[in-house]
Every structure is written in structure tokens, then in C-alpha cells.
Chain A
Amino acid sequence: AQKITQTQPGMFVQEKEAVTLDCTYDTSDPSYGLFWYKQPSSGEMIFLIYQGSYDQQNATEGRYSLNFQKARKSANLVISASQLGDSAMYFCAMSPTGANSKLTFGKGITLSVRP
């Protein structure tokens, strides 16, 4: 079984500053994928970034980077230079390798960007 834990309360960040959203996970699968999704108030889930458990380097996608610490079982999302449009719910998720369509999600974190 896989489990994702996101325990931060609502997060606030000043526009143009960086913010880190925490995610810890637990799994018995030897190989897995880690994902971050953004959900604005409209409801649609937007894919942000993916990290494979055997990837040596941390994933980056534009302003998003994933700080992957395998020994600590953490996969924190770092958003650099926050923008007002980044205000949303952020979900960490994982899946067994080969079954990336079967995601286990965390409870999510609300991020609010202040002007």
C-alpha cells in the first residue's frame, strides 16, 4: 500500500518569493513515481512535475523543482518566484512504477500568494 502525507496548514508566500511545500510518503514498492499536481478553484488538476524513484537528479520544470530525499521518504515541491496565479491547492501523489495511471494522493496544501 502507498501513503502520502501532507501536513502543512494553509501556506502563505509573498509574490516573487520562493516557497516549499512538504510531502512525505510511504510505500513497499521497490520502484515508484512521485508527482505534484495543482488544483485551482476551477477544479481541474494540472500536472506540475514528476520524479522517478531511481532518478539520480532532482526533477525541475520551469519554476518548479522537486527536492527528492529518498532516505527520508520526502518529495518536497519548491516553487521559485511565486506568482499570484500560483494560488491554488497542491497535491503530492505517487504510483507504483508501470502503473502511473493509478495515483495515490495526499490531502493537499492550500497556497496563497500575497501581492
Chain B
Amino acid sequence: KAGVTQTPRYLIKTRGQQVTLSCSPISGHRSVSWYQQTPGQGLQFLFEYFSETQRNKGNFPGRFSGRQFSNSRSEMNVSTLELGDSALYLCASSLGPEAETQYFGPGTRLLVL
């Protein structure tokens, strides 16, 4: 069974640009969560989608948005990039919000110059 895949794996952008990251969950998983990992703030929850609906949202500005498609694939978008958005963005999937195990993807490493 294929694991969680994230594309692209690495990305370099400049301030002010926007970026879209993609996450394909494990087959059969309907819940997708996104996390941002930085050396300073650690791992922070961005948002969670289940059955195409956003169930939970972390404390991030409106520049961060996401969506989930009918096949459970998810995208997150960051508009008007700032230097502080440089981070490892991790996606995790699970069968549902109450599942005990989330499976993480390898992450997308974003560098904003």
C-alpha cells in the first residue's frame, strides 16, 4: 500500500509569491491534516479536512488556506509569502478524525527568499 505522498518535495519561492502544496493520502483514508515545522516554533497544526470539509483550523493567518477533493487528495495554499513561511510542511492522513494513527508524508521543504 502506497504511503502518503507530497509534492513537490522542495520548493524555492520569493517574498510576495504564492505557493500550492499537494498531498495524496493513503488509499481509503479520508482525513488529511497539515502541519508546519520550523526550528523556532516547532510543529504547529494548520488545518484538518475530512470528507472535503475543514473540521479544524490552527492559529494561522488567512494567507494559509486549504481544500480537499472528493478523492481525499488535499492542497494547501500560501499567498503573499513571507520569509517566516520557510518551513517543512507535513501532511498526515488517517481513516478519520478519531483514528488513533496518523501517517505522515515526507514533507515539502519550502524556502522563501
On A, residues with C-beta under 8 Å from B are 33, 37, 42-47, 50, 52, 91, 93, 97-108
Interface size on B, as a range, is 20 to 34
Could you tell me the distance in whole angstroms from the C-beta of B21 to the nearest C-beta in chain A? 14
Q: Say whether chain A's binding surface is mostly helix, strand, loop, or mixed.
A: loop
Would B102 and A101 count as touching, CB distance under 8 A?
yes
On B, residues with C-beta under 8 Å from A are 31, 33, 35, 42-45, 48, 50, 55-56, 58, 88, 90, 92, 94, 97-107, 109
Residue picked from A93, A101, A104, most chain B C-beta under 10 Å: A101
Would A102 and B45 count as touching, CB distance under 8 A?
yes
Would B55 and A47 count as touching, CB distance under 8 A?
no
Subset of 6 A-B contacts with CB under 8 Å: A43-B106, A45-B92, A47-B102, A50-B100, A100-B98, A101-B50
Residues in A neighbouring B31, C-beta threshold 8 A:
101
Q: Sorted from nearest, which 9 A-B pairs have the closest CB atoms?
A: A45-B104, A105-B43, A50-B100, A101-B33, A102-B56, A101-B48, A44-B106, A43-B107, A101-B97
